[in-house]
Amino acid sequence: MTISSRLLGQALVVVLLAACSEAGKDASSPPVPGKAALTVATTTPQAIEWPLTLKASGNIAAWQEAIIGPEINNYRITEVLVNVGDVVKKGQILARIAPETVENELAESLAMVAEAEATLAEARANNERARQLREKGFFSPQQNTQTQTAADTALARLNVARARLKTAQLKRSKAIVLAPDDGIISARAATVGTLTETGQELFRLIRGGRLEWRAEVTSAELARLKPGQTATLSGPNGDVLEGVVRAIAPSVDPQTRNALVYVDLPAKAAQVVSAGMFARGEFRLGQSSALTLPQSAVLLREGFAYVFRVENDKVTQVKIDTGRRNGERIEISGLDTQAQVVASGAGFLADGDSVRIVPDRAASGSSP
């Protein structure tokens, strides 16, 4: 046997031993386990009648605000009886204006009337004596005319004095500033010691304490609203107020292209919100059918919404569109009502995963 033949035989032996060794390893190695199936609960889309709403925002304002000012000029304010936030009744005294001065003017006017009445009485008596003497031939017609003129002048002066008395009496009634209606004082400029002026603002009053929500909506949304519809808005502390659409602005702001919708708020609104506040709310436009799922069944990834549809113990990731939310449910589209989807835990799944379905929605996790 040649050297080359021996080398070739040794090489074949080595190859055969290596093959046998690998075969032994494969036979003795345990099998690699597959990925465990997740235990999930499923749900199906449900058609529910949901309220159709329109979201909006705007300012809280007074329904009507009365400006209260003095009705007499150049008199000193001596007393202010109310402050901002006070609830007042119609006819309640808000402030007093120089009562002593007004009373003195009234007393002077009364004295002038009494003097004018006495002068008139004397002039009429003189005129009557002159008439009698003229009938007897003692007085000339010219003298009788003079006494008659004196009586007429005295009567005119009496009328002037009575007019001044009425003015003084009116001033006395205006020396107290009264609330023109029930409401809430929203502003106060009256200060003790200042002189009253024509057109001066002393107080502002929210009539009846009524507030309104001036919601802004776009011109496209305006056609969906009408008076009488219900609106709800939330206060700063989470309190919910319900109002009614009173009116819709007849024009649209040319700058913002928005229109105002005036919503009357209930009387208790003044305890929750204040004029000048900004509030968000929504209008109820009616009812509409919605296909819904629990929000836990919807997975958000990269700005899109997905669900995992279960078929033949495997899941398929399905893209859907979402809409309104109400409580724990969300409106969806892109599925039929018979589709079975994973009810919760979708974040642990991937497209094509195997699952094991249990009737109890609370079940989750992996099976052995």
pLDDT, tens digit, for every residue of 129-162? 777 766 666 666 666 677 778 888 888 888 888 8
CATH architecture of structural domain 54-63+209-286: Beta Barrel (2.40)
Q: Residue 260, exposed/middle/buried by CB under 10 A (0-12, 13-18, 19+)?
A: buried
Q: What is the pLDDT of residue 137?
A: 64
pLDDT at 17 over 60: no
Residues of the chain with CATH 2.40.50.100: 65-95+175-208
- Would you place residue 4 in the very low, low, confident or very high pLDDT band (cuts 50, 70, 90)? very low
Q: What pTM value is reported for the model?
A: 0.58
Task: Count the neighbouring beta carbons within 10 Å of the beta carbon of residue 142.
Answer: 8
Choice between 264 and 151, residue whose per-residue pLDDT is larger: 264
Span 36-71, pLDDT tens digits: 678 888 899 988 888 888 999 999 999 888 999 988
CA dist 131 and 174 (Å) reads 46
pLDDT at 7 over 80: no
Half-sphere exposure of 139 (CA within 13 A, CB side): 18
In CATH terms, the fold of domain 99-174 is: Helix Hairpins (1.10.287)
State both tokens at 188.
């106060």
In CATH terms, the fold of domain 38-50+289-358 is: 2.40.420
Q: What is the pLDDT of residue 143?
A: 67
Least confident of 196-210, 287-301, 324-338, 350-364: 350-364
Residue with tokens 């150049």: 74
CATH of 65-95+175-208 among 2.40.50.90, 3.40.50.9100, 2.40.50.100, 3.90.1490.10: 2.40.50.100
Residues of the chain with CATH 1.10.287: 99-174
pLDDT at 35 over 50: yes
